[in-house]
Amino acid sequence: MGSSVMVRVRYAPSPTGSPHVGNIRTALFNFLFARSEGGRFIVRIEDTDQTRKVEGALEDILASLRWLGIEWDEGPEIGGEFGPYFQSQRLKIYQHHADELLKKGAAYRCFCTPQELEEMREYQRINKIPQMYDRRCRGKTADEIGKELASGKPFVVRLAMPLQGKIAFEDAVRGRVEYEASLIDDQVLLKSDGWPTYHLANVVDDHLQQISHVIRGDEWINSTPKHVVLYQAFGWEPPIFAHAPIIKGADGAKLSKRHGDTRCLDYREKGYLAEAVANFIALIGWSPGDNREIMRIQELEAAFSLQGIQPSPGVFDLQKLQWMNGEYIRALSKEQLYEVVAAFDANTKDEQYLESASRAVFSQALKKGDKDYVMRALALEQERVKLLTEFPEACEFFFVDHVRFDDQGVAKWKGQPHIEALMNFYLEHLADKTEMSAEDCEQMVNAAVERLGLLKRALAIHPTRVALTGRSFGPGLFELMALLGAARMKTRFEIAKNVLNA
């Protein structure tokens, strides 16, 4: 295919369920390639198998693409000059092309009944013969076919595969790929109800919609020789094929739900940012050729090439995705973070998040609290959080009147001889204070260490954190003290004096 031909690629899902990571990676690779080459990205819905159609699947497909920033140039909801973009609306086109193949002798009518086909398969199983159609209808004469048609007997249209030789094609990822023609079945192209199978509809549409490159998952590579034969039968030039590698879990096993292979939209519900998910998925089985990992969508578009797709399996590592998500969270300005967290809290349907103990007070603070105070609280926890779902628990102590004390934190400091004096020192120091900076708070802690004669500053810092937050870990102590303010600190030191004393 000459370089002057415009790049036109397609993502062609079946509405049989909500798309998972592997499926969406195909969409992303096609989209990035189109953008990198100044081409067109088409979405085509392959809905010819009506029995497997799932209610809501189409909506999930389009929502997944939009969430990840994968905008299509032609397809559902926006149309285009090569429509319709639903295969169920193109049946006459496929029937016409099936007739063309029959006239050329590149396909034939098969009148075998389901019972006959089952008996054939059973015979092959018993005799350990490779299971494929035995081509018994392929040799029917014109008279025999005429009689069958006259009787009204139903038939399917099958592809007449070459009986010998090799079928070869060049794959942009794997190089030259060859198959023994005699080992490939005479594929059904048109079913008895007039609906096409995937193979016929796929090839016809790719040609009529001028698809230049077919980028798809490795699971389709065994179908490609059938498609090559179809292109040859029609006298069409095939597109360039590129089969992306399968995806495995970090343990090397086949990707499954336990590795994180779940609906793409589940990641939205569980607190992942779309930019992080797109970045992560793009790097499964593709490399920009350097050591970059954090890449915005514009950088991915600029760097993407078919040469970067690796032939070896890609790895889905959930821990890496979480790390990457944390990096994207930290890159947000405090204003952006507030907007993202508020939108997530208002829209997520994740049950675990909605039912969490910290969520109610957090949600109330987002809706009715002091926006600047909430924004600063989120910013303090921004360095430690990897998922948006973690913010309610991480920030809870900023928004409650009485913190929940961690048992270990209390156990470590309860009854220590200097604790009551430390709390009293703070209460005395804060008596006339309203606002304090982080530097003021550090000076107060240092003064307490000196007044009480403590050998280590940690003997003041750690119990102070427990007193104010209820926990032994968290953001910078002096920054959180400054944000809490003198009034909140006084209340908490009074409570902690009782909790931490023997």
pLDDT tens per residue, range 172-206: 999 999 999 999 999 999 999 999 999 999 999 99
Q: Which residues pair with 99 in a beta bridge?
A: none
Mark which of 281, 310, 331 sits at the end of a domain.
331
Whether residue 114 is preceded by a cis peptide bond, meaning omega within 30 degrees of 0, is no
What pLDDT score was predicted for residue 262? 82
Q: Which of 128, 257, 368, 456 is catalytic?
A: 257
Given a contact cutoff of 8 angstroms between Cβ atoms, the answer to whether 226 and 107 are in contact is no
Q: Measure the CA–CA gap between 30 and 217, rounded to whole angstroms.
A: 11
Report yes or no on 84 lying in a domain: no
For 456, the 3-state DSSP assignment is: coil
Report yes or no on 454 lying in a domain: yes
323, HSE (Cβ side, Cα atoms, 13 Å): 6
Mark which of 244, 267, 282 sits at the end of a domain.
244
pLDDT band at 123 (very low <50, low <70, confident <90, very high): very high
**Residues 6 or more apart in contact with residue 341 via CB below 8 angstroms:** 366, 378, 388, 391
For residue 363, give Cα distances in angstroms to 267, 338, 480, 495. Answer: 20, 12, 20, 25
Same domain as 105, residue 234:
yes
For 279, the 3-state DSSP assignment is: helix
Q: Measure the CA–CA gap between 104 and 91, rounded to whole angstroms.
A: 20
Query: How far, in whole angstroms, is CA 360 from its chain's centroid?
Result: 28
Where do we find the tokens 């609290």?
A: 369
In angstroms, how far is the first alpha carbon of the chain from the final one? 82
Same domain as 138, residue 59:
no
To the nearest whole number, what is the mean pLDDT of the chain?
A: 95
- Is the pLDDT assigned to residue 328 strictly greater than 50? yes
Same domain as 56, residue 17:
yes
- Is the pLDDT assigned to residue 467 strictly greater than 50? yes
Report yes or no on 85 lying in a domain: no
Same domain as 109, residue 61:
no
What average pLDDT does this structure show over 14-39? 96
Where do we find the tokens 């010998």?
A: 164
- Is the pLDDT assigned to residue 270 strictly greater than 50? yes
- Is the pLDDT assigned to residue 478 strictly greater than 50? yes
**Residues 6 or more apart in contact with residue 183 via CB below 8 angstroms:** 130
Largest CA distance in the chain: 111
CA proximity to 281, closest of 244, 227, 233, 307: 244
Strands 107-110 and 156-159: antiparallel
Q: Measure the CA–CA gap between 332 and 328, rounded to whole angstroms.
A: 7
- Angle CA 68–74–78, to nearest 5: 85
The alpha carbon dihedral of 272, 276, 278, 283 has a sign of negative
Report yes or no on 111 lying in a domain: yes
Task: Lowest mean pLDDT of 49-53, 173-177, 341-345, 380-384, name the range.
Answer: 49-53
Q: Phi/psi zone of residue 438: left (φ > 0), alpha (ψ -120 to 50 degrees), beta?
A: alpha
Q: Measure the CA–CA gap between 300 and 282, rounded to whole angstroms.
A: 8
CA proximity to 336, closest of 202, 442, 344: 344
Q: Which residues pair with 263 in a beta bridge?
A: 20
Report yes or no on 300 lying in a domain: yes
Report yes or no on 237 lying in a domain: yes
Same domain as 306, residue 366:
no
What pLDDT score was predicted for residue 256? 78
Q: Measure the CA–CA gap between 199 and 415, rounded to whole angstroms.
A: 76
Same domain as 232, residue 96:
yes
What average pLDDT does this structure show over 136-142? 95
**Residues 6 or more apart in contact with residue 149 via CB below 8 angstroms:** 109, 155
What average pLDDT does this structure show over 92-111? 98
User: How many structural domains compose the chain?
Assistant: 4
CA proximity to 26, closest of 281, 389, 254: 281
- Is the pLDDT assigned to residue 2 strictly greater than 70? no
What pLDDT score was predicted for residue 254? 81
Expressed as residue numbers, the domain containing 280 is 1-79+245-331
For 232, the 3-state DSSP assignment is: helix
Mark which of 380, 399, 418 sits at the end of a domain.
399
Residue 442: CB atoms within 10 Å: 19
CATH of the domain at 269: 3.40.50.620
Q: Measure the CA–CA gap between 323 and 34, rounded to whole angstroms.
A: 29
Same domain as 387, residue 449:
no
What pLDDT score was predicted for residue 26? 97
Amino acid symbol at 434 = T
What pLDDT score was predicted for residue 198? 95
Same domain as 417, residue 365:
no
Where are the extended beta strands (E) located within 313-457?
314-316
What pLDDT score was predicted for residue 1? 45
pLDDT band at 253 (very low <50, low <70, confident <90, very high): confident
Q: Which residues pair with 316 in a beta bridge?
A: 249
- List strands edge to edge, sheet with 175-180: 175-180, 166-171, 240-244, 213-217
Q: Measure the CA–CA gap between 149 and 299, rounded to whole angstroms.
A: 59
Report yes or no on 200 lying in a domain: yes
Same domain as 67, residue 101:
no
Report yes or no on 183 lying in a domain: yes
490 is an active site residue: no
What average pLDDT does this structure show over 318-330? 97
Same domain as 99, residue 32:
no
